[in-house]
Amino acid sequence: MVKYLLLLATLVLTACQHSPETPLYQRLGGEAGVEKIVDGVLYGIEHDQSIVHHFADTDVPRFRRLLIEQFCELSGGPCKYTGVSMQESHTGFQITQAHFDALVNHLITAMQQQQVPVEAQNEFLAMLAPMYKDVVYR
């Protein structure tokens, strides 16, 4: 029994030692990677008739900078998001579930193009998915 507990404790400790893995920000490709992902998303939006109208009055360079800041901060990078809250920035835009789905598809495409490992993609999507309630039907 004692032996078993010792073995278990060793296993748990070993597992814990492995857990502080490479930060998500690095696995997204660091500064260059996050910029490319954001550019991929912007390209997707630009070519998507179903959502591009939401950005008709958007200052694109500023939007790009804020999105990079947000992705960087969320993934544990050395940045501070300086924009307003998600809820504030989306209220009144009548964003539907289809619009949100479209954006998620563009993000996935961008991450796939950057060959972000699927584990890192999922970890990032897990952080973004709960924003649905602050963005859609506001």
Partner 1 sequence: MKKILVGLCLMMASGSLMAGSKVIATGGATNIEGNSGGGIVPWASINGYSSSDEWSLNTFAGRVGVDDFTLNSFGVGASFNNQWELSLARQTLDLDTIGGELRQDILGIKYKVAGELLYTAMPQISVGVQFKKNRDFALPAAVGAGDDSGYEVYVAATKVFFDAVAGRNLLLNATVRSTDAHQTGLLGFGGQGVARELMFESSAVLLLNYNLALGTEFKQKPNQLGFADEQHWRDLFAAWFINKNASVVLGYVDLGDIAGLTEQTGFYLSVEGTW
Q: Which residues bind partner 1 (CB under 8 A)?
A: 50, 96-102, 104-105, 108, 112, 117-120, 122-123, 125-126, 129-130, 132-133
Q: Give the CB-side neighbour count of residue 65, counting CA atoms within 13 A.
A: 7
Q: Considering beta carbons, is residue 85 or 96 the nearer one to partner 1?
A: 96
Give Cα 77 to chain centroid, integer Å: 12
Q: Considering beta carbons, is residue 21 or 57 the nearer one to partner 1?
A: 21
> CB 55 → partner 1: shortest distance, Å?
17
Range list of H helices, 19-117: 24-27, 30-46, 60-74, 86-90, 97-113
Q: Considering beta carbons, is residue 1 or 126 the nearer one to partner 1?
A: 126
